[in-house]
Chain A
Amino acid sequence: MSLEIYLQPFLYGIQLGITYILLALGLTVIFSIMNILNLAHGEFYMLGAFTVFYISGLMKINYFLALIICIGLVSAIGIFFERIFFRPLHGEIIPTVIVGIGLMWLLQNIAQLVFGTQPRGMKEIFQGNLSFLHVNLSYSRIGAAILSIVLVLGVYFFIYKTKLGKAMQATAQDKEAALSVGIDVGRIEKIGFGIGCGLAGVAGGILAPIFFIEPTMGTSVLIKSLSIIILGGVGSIPGAAIGGLILGIVESYGQTFLGYSATTFPFLIILFVLIFKPRGLMGREA
């Protein structure tokens, strides 16, 4: 009887954590390749969620097709903003952060004008519940977790096994050296930014049937992604995986047993990790 109180949050946490990995992955790809902290990351997530909401929820087009459209659309938006906003700054830290803030405001407020401010919900795609040991897990959540795992593995193989992915790693490690061996760094940065934004968008699309969708939801997503990549170590994909799972489980237990104060967890993770273990759990040595 008492076991399920502890098991339920654990399963939710695992499921949540797996989707968090996807979220943080986009941020860490952009950060390690371009050295840009994209503060508008959460807004790309929001755009992805709304895309899927409109295409699949309202226009009744197949959910998986909607997800593919969502990746393409959000990546294209990301590449557009990279070209006009971030490219002219040449990766300088303070200007890129300030422009990121501007982009965050811009997208959030345009979304409020276009989509309205009230939270929307979307019908579940996979109906039904899996229950065992008095613990429930809806098929939507299981489906979201499986989709996330597939995408995370896809990104992992892309970055570590393909030529383009290796070029990205090289750019992340040393831009000038990459240029000198003939890698088109500008193109790699463009693709990297597109992938990063596309990942945020698809995460939004995957979570759209589970959570409410509203224009301001990006901020909390940004904070969560930041805490995950800092916990795991910036630029490390295994780090993002561990960080995502830890945050998912901790948050899930926190919400069950502590309630409102659980919202501070991501912030506390950021503070303590940066103060006591700045490289994170799996971070590269500088």
Chain B
Amino acid sequence: MKKENWSKIFIWVGIFLMFLLIPFWIENQYLISVITSMFINALLATSCWFIMITGQVTLGHAGFAAIGGYLSAALITKYTLNSWPSLLFALIIVGSLALIIGYITLQIKGIYFIVVTLALGEVIRIIFSAWRDPFGGLTGLMNLPPPNSLKIPFIFTINFLSPISLYYLTLLFSFLGILIMTYLYISPIGLIFQGIRQADDLAESVGIDIMGYKVFSFVVGSIFAGLGGILYTYNVKTIQPSSFTLIQSTNYLLYVAVGGSANILGPIIGAFSLNILSELLRPIKEFEPIVFALILIGTVILFPSGLLGLIQKIGRKIDEIIFHISNKTVLSSNVS
């Protein structure tokens, strides 16, 4: 492995360790729950971005999060299943639904795909708000139990009653999800995805099954959206149709657009920075959507590559300045 990759892995492990240590120096339960929801949003933004790298923009992402969350919640409460098998089961169903829906809708391209996914997301939400049993209709499902405790006989038992244990659970799952998507993105499959986005005709002409790859990215993205929905139900302990509106789907797009879509760090940076901003704006809550809207429009028009692009640009500027200074010193030393 190249030296560069090792340093990258080192940074990732460092970030993970930092998040691992957060509960030790933040005592405030509220802040812990805020950071937990940031992880969920980062996972959802990344999965939305994962669909976007083949050049498709989805506005129905909240729908898949809803399917995941609702299935897991209903299996646990109504059919009294253990939460881990129901998590797996919910993800399998989300994946197979995404496979079918992907095969049908990905025939449609560009702007029409956006419209179709918009309609799809809303249809899913309306279906859940009309479906009384077992999904609870408009009021949804309340008082969901915490995830079952994990037991390894004679060694240890972990329960998920406290916010801190839920924090670790969410951290683990969202980190795992983001790691899997990162792995896929840097693998040859990721290169094919980018090829499809840049020139799908060209990709097809060299014998790439573009439909297959598009469906694959759609399914992977949707499964992780479903996982995000499940993690949401674990933390919030309720699930309602009103949490999965079009606004939610546009939120994920907002994270990606503001963070930048050039690589996987973009959506994560976007989710974190906007969630922090949202906390800072809490005293003037009613202006928050206006500020967000202006940030969104401003980023798209002024910095099309997002915060990520901005950071890279600043980095390059610093490099240039250092280069200049070192050149000058070399020159001046030559003169003397």
Contacts and interface: CB of A to CB of B under 8 A. Distances in A.
Contacts of A88: 301
A71 to B, nearest CB: 25
Nearest to A112: B286
Interface in A184-243: 219, 223, 226-227, 230
Contacts of B105: 274-275
A105 B301 CA distance: 16
Contacts of B126: 261, 263-264, 267
A89 B299 CA distance: 12
Interface of A: 37, 85, 88-89, 93-95, 97-99, 101-103, 105-106, 108-110, 112-113, 219, 223, 226-227, 230, 260-261, 263-264, 266-268, 270-271, 274-275, 278
Interface string B97-134: 00000001101101110111011101100110010000
B115 A270 contact: yes
Interface in B245-274: 246, 250, 253-254, 257
Closest 9 CB pairs of A and B: A105-B293, A106-B293, A270-B119, A102-B297, A102-B296, A267-B119, A109-B289, A102-B293, A267-B123
A269 to B, nearest CB: 8
Nearest to A113: B286
Interface of B: 57, 104-105, 107-108, 110-112, 114-116, 118-120, 122-123, 126-127, 130, 246, 250, 253-254, 257, 286-287, 289-290, 292-294, 296-297, 300-301, 304
Contacts of B296: 98-99, 101-102, 105
Contacts of A270: 115-116, 118-119
Contacts of B300: 89, 95, 98-99, 102
Contacts of A98: 253-254, 257, 296, 300
Given A93-B110, A98-B253, A102-B300, A37 B115 contact: yes
30 contacts: A37-B114, A88-B301, A95-B300, A95-B301, A95-B304, A98-B253, A98-B254, A98-B257, A99-B300, A101-B250, A101-B254, A101-B296, A102-B297, A105-B289, A105-B292, A105-B293, A106-B290, A109-B286, A109-B289, A109-B290, A109-B293, A219-B246, A223-B122, A230-B115, A267-B119, A271-B119, A274-B112, A274-B116, A278-B108, A278-B112
Given A105-B250, A109-B290, 8 more contacts: A37-B111, A95-B300, A95-B304, A102-B293, A102-B296, A102-B300, A106-B289, A270-B116
A103 B123 CA distance: 24
A26 to B, nearest CB: 16
Contacts of B104: 275
Contacts of B294: 102, 106
Contacts of A105: 250, 289-290, 292-293, 296
A278 B114 CA distance: 14
A29 B335 CA distance: 68
Contact of A274 (B108, B289, B290): B108
Contacts of B120: 267, 271
B115 A85 contact: no
